[in-house]
Structure 1
Amino acid sequence: MPTLVDRIAVGRYQDEVQHPSAIKAFVAEFISTLIFVFAGQGSGMAFTKLTQGAATTPAGLVAAALAHAFGLFVAVSVGANISGGHVNPAVTFGAFVGGNITLLRGIFYIIAQLLGSTVACLLLFFSTGGLTTAGFALGAEVSVWNGFVFEIVMTFGLVYTVYATAVDPKKGDIGTIAPIAIGFIVGANILAGGAFTGASMNPAVAFGPAVVSWDWTNHWVYWAGPIIGGGLAGLVYELLFIGRSHEPIPASEY
């Protein structure tokens, strides 16, 4: 069985960063993340406006789950044939540890995702007349360690779904429903974890609002949890169910 080292590839700068296809992939990640964050964060801001800042209700949580599920479905779909439609540093990291993206390309994917999220939040801030782009926060009586574990488990489920429906070479026809499956697991996880951590599962989604609102309270939870969960999912699926050495999957197949 191949070892973890077999799966790690740094990549050549000329191929992974400067090549026209790589640049197109970075732009696609930027746009897809912008679309997703604008819809997801915007739904929360709309709820706040409609309720005059009242506390989130069960109906508000359902609305957030639907907005994120629909938004991610579209964001993954429009980026799939160009960049793979990661839209999430945790997905990119999971793909890296599984040997499906090089280190160099992965770093630039994450930069593009963070920029896309930040620009989306800036656009929301200006287009709503200065409404707050609230950062993610832990729920009442939820400790940082509770939130940390929640984010690990939810992101594990997300990245495992990405591997099963989009990355696995044996996926067959199920690959056609990958974007909707990925959107559904995010929506389901928001219903499960939204009241506890806000259910980020995505460092980029947490980063943009934190930058614009300049609120970094417990921000590390929304990086460490998803990165660990995504990495574990990539390792588990690659080692147990794919089991091959490093073979980057073409964007058209992921």
Structure 2
Amino acid sequence: MNAKKVTSYVIRLILWTLVIAFFFWAISENMFGKIFEEPGKFMELLGRHLELVSISAGLAILTSVPLGILITRPSFRRSEWLIVNIANLGQTIPSLAVLALAMGFLGIGLKAAIVALYIYSLLPILQNTIAGLDSVRPEMKDAAKGMGLTPAQVLFKIELPAAASSIIAGIRTAVVLNIGTAALAYLIGGGGLGVWIFTGIQLFDNQTLISGAVPVTLLAVLVDLLFRGIEYLLVPKGIRLARKSAMESV
């Protein structure tokens, strides 16, 4: 076992120890009492949080993946700089400012929060889609064309399977960021678990704060694991093995 693996295991052990210690303290101090005292309210806030994330992330996926495919076609390659920089505005502008701008156009409520989160989610998916498709070796595409495949068949049978890992990684990043950012939707009347987080901060009530913040964190972790599972199922085995060997050789 080399030094890098030993360091990795030590860091994981420390992190797990801290997590276990935190939950032991939180349970012993009844910091999750708010969830058990108001289960109906908790499920309402969780449902709204999931609604915000699923709609905004779903729209971002439906926009960014096709747009990334279009940009990588030779006829539209010149538009890459313009489109990527427009999408980049959602990341360069602070998330609170994006929420404020959306509120200025759409008012207070769910619609403004969804639009703001949608804008914030575009860039990671778009960039990873472009990077994944660009990473496909030209020799593979030339060989597929030589076998008589049409451009559409090359895209769906060669390019997208080879780029699937990068695309899913971009989606995973966007959704996980979205889960955390969705807590800010409370500030413009969007609801979600941010209601308890900011209420706890304002009232100096750690029980309410932790009852909102910890579920958001756990939700992000679970979604990350879910997308890792999806990546494992969708990415061809040969590509996964090649990437693993490349990482181990570094």
Larger radius of gyration: 2
Higher relative contact order (CA 8 A, sep 6+): 1
TM normalised by structure 2 equals 0.29
Q: Which has the higher helix share?
A: 2
